[in-house]
Amino acid sequence: MDQKSLLELLKQVQKGTVSPESAVQELKKLHFSDLGFAKVDHHRELRKGFPEVIFCANKTPEQVAAISVKLAEQTEGNILATRADREAYRQVAALLPEAEYHELAKVILIRRGIQEQRGHILVLSAGTSDLPVAEEAALTAEAMGNKVERIYDVGVAGLHRLLRYQDSLLAARVFVVVAGMEGALPSVIGGLVDKPVIAVPTSVGYGASFGGLAALLGMLNSCASGVSVVNIDNGFGAGYQASLINRLGG
Amino acid sequence: MDQKSLLELLKQVQKGTVSPESAVQELKKLHFSDLGFAKVDHHRELRKGFPEVIFCANKTPEQVAAISVKLAEQTEGNILATRADREAYRQVAALLPEAEYHELAKVILIRRGIQEQRGHILVLSAGTSDLPVAEEAALTAEAMGNKVERIYDVGVAGLHRLLRYQDSLLAARVFVVVAGMEGALPSVIGGLVDKPVIAVPTSVGYGASFGGLAALLGMLNSCASGVSVVNIDNGFGAGYQASLINRLGG
Amino acid sequence: MDQKSLLELLKQVQKGTVSPESAVQELKKLHFSDLGFAKVDHHRELRKGFPEVIFCANKTPEQVAAISVKLAEQTEGNILATRADREAYRQVAALLPEAEYHELAKVILIRRGIQEQRGHILVLSAGTSDLPVAEEAALTAEAMGNKVERIYDVGVAGLHRLLRYQDSLLAARVFVVVAGMEGALPSVIGGLVDKPVIAVPTSVGYGASFGGLAALLGMLNSCASGVSVVNIDNGFGAGYQASLINRLGG
Amino acid sequence: MDQKSLLELLKQVQKGTVSPESAVQELKKLHFSDLGFAKVDHHRELRKGFPEVIFCANKTPEQVAAISVKLAEQTEGNILATRADREAYRQVAALLPEAEYHELAKVILIRRGIQEQRGHILVLSAGTSDLPVAEEAALTAEAMGNKVERIYDVGVAGLHRLLRYQDSLLAARVFVVVAGMEGALPSVIGGLVDKPVIAVPTSVGYGASFGGLAALLGMLNSCASGVSVVNIDNGFGAGYQASLINRLGG
Amino acid sequence: MDQKSLLELLKQVQKGTVSPESAVQELKKLHFSDLGFAKVDHHRELRKGFPEVIFCANKTPEQVAAISVKLAEQTEGNILATRADREAYRQVAALLPEAEYHELAKVILIRRGIQEQRGHILVLSAGTSDLPVAEEAALTAEAMGNKVERIYDVGVAGLHRLLRYQDSLLAARVFVVVAGMEGALPSVIGGLVDKPVIAVPTSVGYGASFGGLAALLGMLNSCASGVSVVNIDNGFGAGYQASLINRLGG
Amino acid sequence: MDQKSLLELLKQVQKGTVSPESAVQELKKLHFSDLGFAKVDHHRELRKGFPEVIFCANKTPEQVAAISVKLAEQTEGNILATRADREAYRQVAALLPEAEYHELAKVILIRRGIQEQRGHILVLSAGTSDLPVAEEAALTAEAMGNKVERIYDVGVAGLHRLLRYQDSLLAARVFVVVAGMEGALPSVIGGLVDKPVIAVPTSVGYGASFGGLAALLGMLNSCASGVSVVNIDNGFGAGYQASLINRLGG
Amino acid sequence: MDQKSLLELLKQVQKGTVSPESAVQELKKLHFSDLGFAKVDHHRELRKGFPEVIFCANKTPEQVAAISVKLAEQTEGNILATRADREAYRQVAALLPEAEYHELAKVILIRRGIQEQRGHILVLSAGTSDLPVAEEAALTAEAMGNKVERIYDVGVAGLHRLLRYQDSLLAARVFVVVAGMEGALPSVIGGLVDKPVIAVPTSVGYGASFGGLAALLGMLNSCASGVSVVNIDNGFGAGYQASLINRLGG
Amino acid sequence: MDQKSLLELLKQVQKGTVSPESAVQELKKLHFSDLGFAKVDHHRELRKGFPEVIFCANKTPEQVAAISVKLAEQTEGNILATRADREAYRQVAALLPEAEYHELAKVILIRRGIQEQRGHILVLSAGTSDLPVAEEAALTAEAMGNKVERIYDVGVAGLHRLLRYQDSLLAARVFVVVAGMEGALPSVIGGLVDKPVIAVPTSVGYGASFGGLAALLGMLNSCASGVSVVNIDNGFGAGYQASLINRLGG
């Protein structure tokens, strides 16, 4: 039952050709009502605070460009495309010249209008090889209107490097902590701070890291409270979750 | 918005105090409509063809008995309780004397009224240790109104035992094939017949059977077409799926 | 013992040179009788309702073309080749110009004669990346003479998209539900309908999806009854199984 | 170097018997400084917002009681003991009569003083077997001063049950979603709401659930954004993380 | 078609009421002939060289005793029951007083008549904890009429203990090598001898032995040629396989 | 202590400058005696019945050719090189023109002199994709002087194809059974024959075959006695083991 | 060839009845010489620096007591029995009253004579639940003559607790670091010190710790250099390895 | 607080403008002191005995060259770059001509000054395919100033080859044992010697070696005491750990 036939039904109620009781019966027949959802769908930006993100992994550059343009017409917010290669960027930029490309994170970001910055998500990474994932998280959070600080290469084998950043650790409201190998950094951060920590295991490592499984299990078994975990290499997911959290305090 | 307030809204439309257009807007605000679903829920037996089954694994005998009585009042169909121990049966039978207990399958079955039998689901098992799971499947199918034939202990290491049952293999409409250890029987059946085969791995075995994993993987990788698989030891699920299939031809 | 020597034996019985009792002893010596099977083999199309499908994964384009021609001579039904690349198609089409190539599904389909359509298998997919597997399932079902409806990109993270298709969900007789990542769509479908659901996990995902393992386990552990599962990415197997089921009601 | 000897050093600087430059050298010798941490430790309640929680799994009832009393002397906040059996409660209650025991969740809770309630964490569970974990999460969040609403038994196989709770879903600030088996509920919730979802896999299930692994992988691979995951059966961890998040908006 | 109706058919051929050609057609209709197999089944001892072994794991003592008696009537060979507890033995011995019980191996052995001993299977075990499995293998081989020598507790961490048994290593025709933990002994034996080695991993170990998985993988990856592997703790299987091999040499 | 110094010691005993008792003490100091082993090494062909096989996987074509020539000088038996590509063959054939290349099996075989054929190893494969592994096994057995029969493409989904080969099944002394996917063929063979079966899982399959793991587990859990297993794709190992067994009956 | 026949041979060389050259040939026939090893075996204490340790897991209290007494007669060093329950201790102590029982570690230790203490192995544990394993390591090292310092409950979620022990960290020569859950402590220690770290994962944890697998993988993937790992819960192995290392500096 | 502001604070104490008590309060505010660590960091070579090693796996040749030059300026010790390809070497050698390239191990080594050799680490490998990992270990140990002996291709399937090296086995102080496939060599070595053994599993193998998992599990479950394990293929880690151990005896 679409909007039009609903209106038709209601007009018949108005005219008296259908009784209210019959109309209730009619509406009850809807097993899966799509009334409200349709509206929500047109207002997805309001409902989730951010337009659809483009996950480019299985899309051609042409598809990415086409979707970008379509989203740019439908929304006034930022547009984010993750796992995008340089060719996808080239085709997007030909149509939307304001697009930025972040090579390390493989992210295309189209910043639009001026966004009030909400304060302070801190993204940390254990090693330099974790940077692509950390940057994906950081750029996602920026695209969603957050202030983001980055502290990279502060793995647990060199704790003193981490401990220099006391002020940043105390100032942040939400933490995204990215680590491969044994994935211990979120536990250390979780023990130092009293704010939510989103842990991101990366597939960095070799041998018995099993593509990030070691880091994932390490983070799930963290002895520190206040740590939750997203999928391996899911920088976007962590940045998104951190943004939802940070927005609560807005 | 419950049924009553919906009726109220429609009456206002009828009276003209609310325009059809406003009513559409009002109805569109419903994000998650429960109108239709509520009705469906009271008619679950119609929708799914069978009343709620009682999974007794984490319930006390008292809870099983109470739920059984409640279901007996709400429905006229058979009632099935799986993974039930003897004590649960004792308490159910005290209240519903017609209850049967099938010890091997750990199933309580309450047959009610006369059900037209739909024809011929064949349940096969590879070894005698697979019988509890096979019986759970067979009794589930019987409870759902199917004719069921059982052929047990016809594992692939003694093919001649299986090949004796040619007539049964040709007559059945749906197959439930239960096997532990290497789980090869469904592949053999799937190669002999042109009917759907529901494969059930069991946790029978030791060592590298890893609690049924070997049988499960074997069945998922079956070289025969027409085989699909349910969870380890899930006799109920197989009997249920076979019943849904058998009913199609009704 | 081939057919000729069997006839010889029976003629000797007729002539009286071999007694019936001796002939019984002779026939009992057959450990593995191939009498009946040979016949069945020539009649495979009847027995299984469909000619041998060509699984192209480890075959050269030349081999695929040669087998296609051979099957085209032996049978009058449709011919299906799965996991076929464009070059294999090119070589098949040179010999059998009526061959169609479905690039997304990597399927070659040769439709022959007019087939009475049996009604309504519904193929659903959770994401756009699941399309190749979903199309393999849909084309297999079509090749086996079924009416197929497709509803794609209705993953559980946007339930409202799914719920719009109420009519289709109520009309279908068998469901093939294709999903990667967490593989939750079959559970949702299984809870809404009272028809058999064949679930197909795909290898779509990354990180802890472990090549489709996450989706596979999710589907095997479905809390909905009436769901069975085929191997990861096995669109063909699901389409085949759904066709066997749909034919029951024919 | 403890506080006393630090003071001594500084007095020598003041007196001029040690030059500032020498004092810097002295202080630089500290490889692992414990100055600040010691203070933090005495103020742990301030730093993390909550006193040490007692994890009773490997402790005797006597040990649990002793630790409870010690914590009651050191802090004025609530005290929480998880995985506690009835005997542990008995011994705690003998010394601290205000202790409550929540049998399902195996939680001892000692509520002290009046705590300003921060608003609205919503705890959902898919099945009745998930209740112990869900209650552990809910009681943890309550002990940390949050308003908690519970919606239980709304698994994805019966979506209509969930969709009735539209108002609650829209009102909550943080979600804890508990599910065993295929673990699909967090994906569905994550697709409906725009708030952070903490997913908790449970070990409920059998066969290929592998002690909660299926649910865990399902949640990590959620196709919905805004979902992060804690360890299997870790209701406490989810309640704690949700409390940290909810406090941000305080 | 059973033996009787077959005879009937042949008599009709003899009488001329059925032509040989029609009889061939009749016989060809048999899809799965059970003629020969039936005979084989009554002669299983001849076909496989040994009567059915009783696997007691899921049987009651009463069942074990009943099956033992039945086998004793049907065969003249030895009877073997594995994974038998003392109570099963007690009940067997009450009926068959010549039964022996081997407690370590949990084996009941009924030696009957005089068997010509075929020469020399050597059973080795790495540690004392592997003895139950090694004894199950040794007793199985003895029950099947082989001479068996045992060398136990010669693990690779003390090679000199093994190397003392040079004569035995050179004299044996078949080797059964039983080891838990890292399972390295079969590789060492396989490198020293030029006879077939059947490797048996045991579940002896802890931690990362994962119930025998480490030993199993070690044996499958043996760098020595001439080693094949049976299931974890499957002493019976190894003894059986070794017996089949040893029998080849007459 | 090499041979020369041993001789020196013994000469001193002869001369009387060292007493026999002292010489015993001297000899007892040898912790790891290499006396005998050295001899064995020069006689490896005798000890193991076959010269060193060349595993080409990590070797350059030049290395393979050089080792082939060296072995051809040291031995008079056949020479076998496995996992060899065409280029390796080209370089070997340039130096040893009698070399044969078996492309499917990736085996180079250099047959030398006339070898008395020992009778009858039967190599079976389930599918055509298993042929490379089956051929590696068959050629290895031929190279070690066995008569080999091949029966390919007789998987369990078409049992009638297998059952036609009754005579071959009854005639063979040792079986090598190669199968991928669910790996069920060895169980069926093991149930039909009373000879040793060496099972070889292959990595043929996709999805939940996990590179041959499904077939491997299936074979290890075979419900048939008399089956032992080698590593995934290890055709060489199976052919070698079968040869050792077959030689026993020589 | 035993010692006696060797002496005989040498006497014949002395007498001239056997030439040195013949004797060399005779000795070369030994395939597996056991000359030297026999001696080594009686001197195992010298060779490995410590008498055989009793692993009590699969032994009866009587067996433990008997072995203890036998070892006490054969050696003058300390005697260590691991995984011993109280009853085993009772029976040992009845015969060897100087035996100590360490309940937490389940270790029986019999200290004998005065041992020069080698300096400073530091045993750290992350949590209180890791104490049994840590104590097994510490007592093993003490039994092997090392000075041992213990620092327990210094997990990475409370780094400040660890950092207080700067002096101990700088003074130790070898580290044994015991941790369950995510197993991150060895990485932190390995980053702070320049001495070898032996990491011991424990099975402490639940859910996705998978019996210590998470900790094991974490330690194997440590981002700190200088860390090696023993089996899960293998406190004895770590203490033994640390002792071998510490002795090097003696 | 950096060094400069600390000095400023202390000068104020000296001047009397800040009291010692206030200064203590000021210093106690430091939650994470970086005083000492900063110094340590400039002196990393002293603290860990070796400059930062360059792990080239994810770095461009340009980055490797740049880091090499920077390290060459900051330190006087050797410089080691692992997992380096030939192009990285070419660019390093252009700037630092004394650089050596070890192709097998993929190691760049820049030897500088004369280093006193500490005695005798023995590196063994089981097969020729393990050489790259073994060489990485050996070169790492050499770069850290150790005497290194190599014994390669002495796998357990040919024990006599190993036993020839008695003198080397007795002379070494630390062992690095590298093996793929079943990974049994460390157990054999650990049983022969009384020195620490660092075991390195390699990913050499196929099928059920699962990328080195079989070897890894084998080593972790070693029945020999005195063995600890590093990650799969982690030759560097083993060489580093062995060097730390060997230095203890300096």
Under the banding of pLDDT at 50, 70 and 90, the label for residue G7 is confident
Neighbours of G103 (CB within 10 A): 12
What radius of gyration, in Å, describes the C-alpha atoms of chain E?
A: 23
A35 pLDDT exceeds 60?
A: no
A142-151, A165-174, B185-194: which range is least confident on average?
A165-174
F121 pLDDT exceeds 70?
A: yes
Q: How many residues does chain F have?
A: 250
- Within chain E, strands assigned E span 54-55, 79-82, 100-102, 107-110, 118-125, 146-151, 174-179, 197-201, 227-229
Q: How many residues does chain B have?
A: 250
d(CA H183, CA H169): 19
CA distance E31 to chain B (A): 7
D249 pLDDT exceeds 70?
A: no
pLDDT one-digit tens code per residue, B93-117: 999 999 999 999 999 999 886 566 6
B130 pLDDT exceeds 90?
A: yes
CA distance D199 to chain A (A): 9
Q: Does E10 touch chain H (CB under 8 A)?
A: no
Burial of E68 (0-12, 13-18, 19+ CB in 10 A): buried
Backbone angles phi, psi at C107, to 5 degrees: -120, 135
Specify the pLDDT at position A49.
54
Specify the pLDDT at position B249.
66
A76 pLDDT exceeds 90?
A: no
**Farthest CA pair distance, chain H:** 80
CA C193 to the chain's CA centroid: 23
H29-H33-H36 Cα angle (round to 5)? 145
pLDDT one-digit tens code per residue, C100-159: 999 999 999 998 865 666 678 999 999 888 999 999 999 999 998 899 999 998 988 877
> Considering only CA atoms, which of A105, A97, A98 is closest in space to residue A81?
A105
Chains E, G: CB pairs < 8 Å: 49
B211-225, D9-23, D191-205, F226-240: which range is least confident on average?
D9-23
d(CA C100, CA C90): 10
d(CA C24, CA F194): 25
H250 pLDDT exceeds 60?
A: no
Specify the pLDDT at position D190.
92
Specify the pLDDT at position G198.
98
Task: Pick the most confident of B197-201, H13-17, H109-113.
Answer: B197-201
Set out the domains of chain H in order of their start, with CATH numbers. Answer: 19-110 (no CATH), 118-248 (3.40.50.1970)
Residues from chain G that touch H49, judged by Cβ atoms under 8 A, are: 194
DSSP designation for B51: P
Considering CB atoms only, which of F221, F225, F248 is closest to E248?
F248
Under the banding of pLDDT at 50, 70 and 90, the label for residue D22 is confident
Specify the pLDDT at position H239.
96
The residues facing C197 across adjacent strands are C175, C227
The pTM (predicted TM-score) of the whole model is 0.85
CA distance B170 to chain D (A): 31
Give the chain G residue whose CA is nearest to the CA of A205. G221
E94 pLDDT exceeds 60?
A: yes
Q: Are C196 and C225 in contact (CB under 8 A)?
A: no
Residue with the bigger pLDDT between G73 and B216: it is: B216
Judge: B210–F217 Cβ closer than 8 Å, yes or no: yes
> Considering only CA atoms, which of F124, F113, F104 is closest in space to residue F200?
F124
- Asked if F touches D (at least 3 Cβ pairs < 8 angstroms), the answer reads no
d(CA F236, CA G20): 44
Q: Is D177 helix (H, G, I), strand (E, B) or coil?
A: strand
Under the banding of pLDDT at 50, 70 and 90, the label for residue F249 is low
pLDDT one-digit tens code per residue, D238-248: 999 999 999 88
Under the banding of pLDDT at 50, 70 and 90, the label for residue D165 is confident
Rounded average pLDDT over E144-152: 92
Q: Indicate the pairing of strand C100-102 with strand C118-125.
A: unpaired
- Following CA atoms B58, B63, B64, B67 in sequence, which dihedral angle do they give, to the nearest 10 degrees? -120
Q: Indicate the pairing of strand F54-55 with strand F227-229.
A: unpaired
Specify the pLDDT at position C50.
65
d(CA F71, CA G150): 59
Q: Are C182 and D183 in contact (CB under 8 A)?
A: yes
Judge: B27–A14 Cβ closer than 8 Å, yes or no: no
Q: Are G193 and D31 in contact (CB under 8 A)?
A: no
Task: State the angle between helix axes of E3-15 and C20-28 in degrees (0 to 180), rounded to the nearest 10.
Answer: 140
Residue with the bigger pLDDT between D84 and H162: it is: D84
F239-248, G229-238, H107-116: which range is least confident on average?
H107-116
Give the chain A residue whose CA is nearest to the CA of G193. A157
> Considering only CA atoms, which of F13, F36, F27 is closest in space to residue G19?
F13
| Tokens encoding C106 | 């990597």
In the chain, the amino acid numbered C161 is R
Specify the pLDDT at position D6.
76
- Within chain G, strands assigned E span 54-55, 79-82, 100-102, 107-110, 118-125, 146-151, 174-179, 197-201, 227-229
Residue with the bigger pLDDT between B114 and A5: it is: A5
d(CA F134, CA F154): 13
d(CA H188, CA H196): 13
Hey, which chains touch G, using 3+ CB pairs under 8 Å? A, D, E, F, H
Burial of D32 (0-12, 13-18, 19+ CB in 10 A): buried
Residue with the bigger pLDDT between A159 and C92: it is: C92
**Would the CA dihedral through D107, D113, D114, D118 be positive or negative?**
negative
Rounded average pLDDT over C177-183: 95
Residue with the bigger pLDDT between A61 and B3: it is: A61
Residues from chain E that touch H220, judged by Cβ atoms under 8 A, are: 207-208, 214
Under the banding of pLDDT at 50, 70 and 90, the label for residue G100 is very high
Specify the pLDDT at position G16.
87
d(CA C234, CA C231): 5
Specify the pLDDT at position D38.
29
Specify the pLDDT at position G58.
78
Mutation to test the H interface, candidates D6, D7, D17, D27, most H Cβ within 10 Å: D27
DSSP designation for H117: P
Q: ipTM of this predicted complex?
A: 0.81
Residues from chain A that touch C163, judged by Cβ atoms under 8 A, are: 32-34, 37
Rounded average pLDDT over A210-222: 94
D108-122, D183-197, F22-36, H177-191: which range is least confident on average?
F22-36
Share of chain A above pLDDT 90, in %: 49
> Considering only CA atoms, which of H127, H162, G29 is closest in space to residue F40?
G29
Neighbours of F85 (CB within 10 A): 15
User: In the sheet that A107-110 helps form, which strands lie side by side, from edge to edge?
Assistant: A54-55, A79-82, A107-110, A100-102
Residues from chain D that touch G130, judged by Cβ atoms under 8 A, are: none
Q: Is B114 helix (H, G, I), strand (E, B) or coil?
A: coil
Judge: F30–H166 Cβ closer than 8 Å, yes or no: yes
Residue with the bigger pLDDT between A166 and G177: it is: G177
Under the banding of pLDDT at 50, 70 and 90, the label for residue E159 is confident
Q: Are F36 and F60 in contact (CB under 8 A)?
A: no
Give the chain E residue whose CA is nearest to the CA of B182. E231
The residues facing F151 across adjacent strands are F124
User: In the sheet that B54-55 helps form, which strands lie side by side, from edge to edge?
Assistant: B54-55, B79-82, B107-110, B100-102
> Considering only CA atoms, which of G64, G115, G66, G137 is closest in space to residue G250?
G115
In the chain, the amino acid numbered E36 is G
Q: What share of chain H is helix, strand, coil (3-state, %, to 5)?
A: 50, 15, 35
Specify the pLDDT at position G116.
64
Specify the pLDDT at position G113.
65
DSSP designation for G98: T
Task: State the angle between helix axes of H235-248 and G235-248 in degrees (0 to 180), rounded to the nearest 10.
Answer: 50
Rounded average pLDDT over B216-239: 95
pLDDT one-digit tens code per residue, E40-84: 333 344 445 566 788 888 788 998 999 899 888 877 788 999 999
Specify the pLDDT at position C31.
36
Chains B, D: CB pairs < 8 Å: 50
A204-208, C36-40, C240-244: which range is least confident on average?
C36-40
Q: Is F197 helix (H, G, I), strand (E, B) or coil?
A: strand
E99 pLDDT exceeds 70?
A: yes
Specify the pLDDT at position E50.
66
Q: Are H138 and H174 in contact (CB under 8 A)?
A: no
Share of chain F above pLDDT 70, in %: 85
Share the mean pLDDT of chain A.
Answer: 84
Residues from chain F that touch H206, judged by Cβ atoms under 8 A, are: 57, 231-234
Judge: A174–D49 Cβ closer than 8 Å, yes or no: no
Q: Is E155 left (phi over 0), alpha (psi -120 to 50) or beta?
A: beta
Residue with the bigger pLDDT between B42 and H57: it is: H57
A19-33, F214-228, H2-16, H210-224: which range is least confident on average?
A19-33
Share the mean pLDDT of chain C.
Answer: 84
Q: Are E156 and E190 in contact (CB under 8 A)?
A: no
Specify the pLDDT at position B123.
97
G55-G58-G61 Cα angle (round to 5)? 80
Contacts of E20 (CB under 8 A, 6+ apart): C7, C10, C11, C13, C14, E13
Return the exposure string of G155-173: e unless at least 16 CB atoms fall within 10 Å of the residue's CB, then b.
Answer: bbbbbbbbbbbbeebeebb
Rounded average pLDDT over F105-120: 80
Neighbours of E141 (CB within 10 A): 27
D174 pLDDT exceeds 90?
A: yes
B112-116, D199-203, F99-103, H50-54: which range is least confident on average?
B112-116
CA distance F187 to chain C (A): 16
Judge: C33–E31 Cβ closer than 8 Å, yes or no: no
D233-237, E134-138, F3-7, F103-107: which range is least confident on average?
F3-7
- Following CA atoms D166, D170, D175, D178 in sequence, which dihedral angle do they give, to the nearest 10 degrees? 10
CA A203 to the chain's CA centroid: 19
Residues from chain E that touch H169, judged by Cβ atoms under 8 A, are: none
Rounded average pLDDT over G37-63: 62
D169-D171-D177 Cα angle (round to 5)? 40
Distances (CA, A) of C57 to C85, C215, F127: 9, 23, 13
Q: Does C20 touch chain E (CB under 8 A)?
A: yes
Under the banding of pLDDT at 50, 70 and 90, the label for residue F113 is low
Q: Does A125 touch chain G (CB under 8 A)?
A: no
d(CA E7, CA D122): 77
Judge: G206–D38 Cβ closer than 8 Å, yes or no: no
